[in-house]
Amino acid sequence: MKYIAKKLLDLIPTLLGISLVCFFLIRLIPGDPVLNLIGERGADPARYLEMKKALGLDLPITEQFWIYLKSIFRGDIGTSIISNNSVWNEFIERFPATLELGIVALIGATVIGIPVGIFAAMKRNSFFDYFLMSTSLVGYSMPIFWWGLILILLFSVKMGITPVSGRIDFIYDIPVFSGLYLIDTLRPEVFSQEGFGPFLSALKHLILPSIALGTIPLAVIARMTRSSMLEVLGEDYIRTAKAKGMSKKRIIYIHALRNALVPIITTLALLFGSIITGAILTETIFSWPGIGKWIVASITARDYPVIQGGVLIISFVIVLTNIIVDIIYYLLNPKMRS
């Protein structure tokens, strides 16, 4: 309990540090949010000063930060300068799109990455091993924005197989239930009228963004699986199983994989952070209406409350995920407890 309490207490200074850095860094970005809001043509001095005072931007920056901190502790992460909507409500509206994209990308990376890693470990130092690990290294090193554009050029522009952008064809108007289109399009009231059309449309729109977002996690999972499998395959109990004449398939899938999966599961949880941060670029390239595209648009518009609030919520989710992983690892690993 002491370890868990310490980890949870670490959350407070971490989020305070992130709030502090984010608050001051975004004010170093060139541009004026008031001018962005009212436009340079309508910026007569009196109106400009009035708007600046209304937004609290005329106060000293340290006082602005203090007011921001107090509002966070009251549970208010701000109101958008541009839309005048609550930052929290805007986040909740867009988060399902990012969540759906992240889940599909992570599932795809796991389903492909683990068998690739196992196969590479079984064929250690062979041509297949070198080929698969070299390919995974290329996938890990590839910038998302470049990879996303290549995918669009090949599969959308040249072949016309997949849509270029968006979540679903504009002819479908799907009532929001969970916000996850792969689920909402199969609800009885939608399916009875439209059939599989909306589901297939949502699925086709997901293919390219999820490939772009899942490439780096796939490379990490494949390399992690190979490394973990090789470590387990060198253990004494595996040699004992071989000496007993146990089949290779049984040794790999029953004994080795079960133990090798522990660090892989930990890696999967930690990859959640890279999925969220990678979504910022992916959503911008594919015009995916999630939190990544929302934050990039807010940076362009110098919408300070949205940038601060969005970064704070994302940071909270990532840090909390890492703490939960640490706690689970601590509970599962006797060496750490001792």
What pLDDT, on a 0 to 100 scale, did the predictor assign at position 14?
84
**264 near 221, Cβ under 8 Å?**
yes
Mutual angle of helices 2-26 and 304-332, in 10-degree steps? 160
pTM of the predicted model, to two decimals?
0.83
pLDDT tens digits for range 126-163: 888 888 888 888 888 888 888 889 999 999 899 888 88
Cβ of 53: how many Cβ atoms within 10 Å? 12
- Which amino acid, one-letter code, is at 224? M
Assigned CATH topology for domain 92-336: MetI-like fold (1.10.3720)
What pLDDT, on a 0 to 100 scale, did the predictor assign at position 150?
92
What pLDDT, on a 0 to 100 scale, did the predictor assign at position 177?
83
What pLDDT, on a 0 to 100 scale, did the predictor assign at position 335?
62
Tokens of 34: 């008031």
Mutual angle of helices 2-26 and 61-73, in 10-degree steps? 140
- Which amino acid, one-letter code, is at 12? I
Report in angstroms the alpha-carbon separations of 249 from 45, 107, 222, 234.
77, 24, 19, 16
Domain ranges of the chain: 1-74, 92-336
Q: In terms of pLDDT, which residue wins out, 119 or 269?
A: 119
DSSP assigned state of 256: I
* Residue of 52, 54, 221 whose CA lies nearest to 132: 221
Report how far residue 132's alpha carbon sits from residue 294's, in angstroms, rounded to the nearest whole number.
36
- Percent of the chain beyond pLDDT 70? 96
What pLDDT, on a 0 to 100 scale, did the predictor assign at position 210?
93
Tokens of 139: 């996938």
* Residue of 92, 80, 69 whose CA lies nearest to 22: 69
Tokens of 119: 């196969």
Report in angstroms the alpha-carbon separations of 123 from 120, 223, 237.
5, 13, 20
Report how far residue 162's alpha carbon sits from residue 212's, in angstroms, rounded to the nearest whole number.
13
